[in-house]
Structure 1
Amino acid sequence: MHVSERDPGDIAELTRRASVETKALQRDRYRAVLLALDGKEAVEIATAVGRSRRSVQDWVYWYRDGGVDNLLPGKSTGRPTKLPRGREAEFMARLDAGPRPEDGVCTLRGKDVVAILEREFGIKYSLDGAYDLLERLGYSCLTPRPRHENSDPQEMERFRQEAPFLSRP
């Protein structure tokens, strides 16, 4: 590979970093650039460091374009969330408020959360994705069994006392 020392002292710095680096991948990056500066070809370097030819080429190009510090790994940001971080508080407030009459349920379940996300936030989530979102936001998918809005506690207790088929202690 045809690459030359970008800044004076880079070879010494790469040698120093390669000797003290504990992470194998990072150490191989330094070694690959050192071998390229020594005039070796990409295939030879790949064989020497035990990595792919394409990876070696990428590392050498990173060095050529940005210097020694450009060989350091960047922060992996990952895929952005469907629900923007700025709207999470709004979504949590909506869940904390409970079901609305237009939801048609007395307790929000996973499929109801999917419907809310699509209807009110304009975001399509799968059922598994909605459960992952709820878990990330600190919600549990377990809730107590809901009580119907027309249930009468006194009538339920009277039934428990007078039912002939229930055994009494």
Structure 2
Amino acid sequence: MIRIQLPPAEAEHLEALFRSTTDRKLRDRVQIVLMAHRGRARQDIATAPGVDRRTVTRWLNTYCANGLSGLRPKKSKGKSGHIPAALADEVKTWVLTGPAEQGLDRANWTHAELADHLLKTKGVRTSRSAVQRFCSKIDIRLYRPTYHHERGDPVQQAKARPEIAELGNGQGPGSSSS
């Protein structure tokens, strides 16, 4: 049996955290500490969150050494991105101008095609998901519409109205009325 004596204020704080947290890992770890505080056996503590007895011992030791901050899950750092930040402007240009400007027969980029293009042109070997994260980080989306609805120039529209009216009457330029 592992018993931890918690001051009443700390036990109440852990109880409140246990009831309010949405983080499953933190909730399980706090539950382990609270069950040990209540005098439960290590095997009984392990069955509640479904962990091994050694895991219970590890989290209790961590709590004793570091307090609540030791129980909070840490996000793993992971492998750094393969795409150098110096390529951000060039990748943005590629996406905005489209793959056709790079000699490809596509209307739009996909993350996989952009990863392949990075490998062929820059020698940067990367994955589709890494390209997706990189594009998100530099605030660029690969979707590029193939058409634009832009407002016409009002001056040119005013000049064209008489010509259009003549065409509608059948008296356009080059028409003969014989």
TM-score, with length taken from structure 1: 0.54
CA distance in 2, matches of 1:55, 1:32: 10
Does residue 115 of structure 1 match 2:116? Answer: yes
SS of the aligned residue for 2:146 comes to: coil
Q: Which runs of 5+ in 1 are unaligned?
A: 146-169
CA distance in 1, matches of 2:130, 2:146: 20
Q: Name the larger-Rg structure.
A: 2
Conserved? CA contact 2:83–2:124, under 8 Å: no
CA distance in 2, matches of 1:46, 1:79: 32
Give runs of aligned pairs for residues 1-169 of structure 1, distance below 5 A: 10-21=6-17, 22-23=20-21, 25=24, 26-37=26-37, 40-47=40-47, 49-53=48-52, 55-75=55-75, 80-84=80-84, 87-96=87-96, 98=98, 103-105=102-104, 107=106, 109-110=109-110, 112-119=113-120, 120-126=122-128, 129=129, 132-133=132-133, 136=136, 137-144=139-146
CA distance in 2, matches of 1:51, 1:63: 19
Conserved? CA contact 2:33–2:60, under 8 Å: yes
Question: What's the offset of the Cα at 1:63?
Answer: 0.9
| One-letter amino acid matched to 2:63 | Y
**Cα RMSD over matched residues?**
4.0
Q: Percent of aligned positions with the same letter in both sequences?
A: 20
TM-score, with length taken from structure 2: 0.52
Count, aligned residues = 137
Question: What's the offset of the Cα at 1:105?
Answer: 3.0
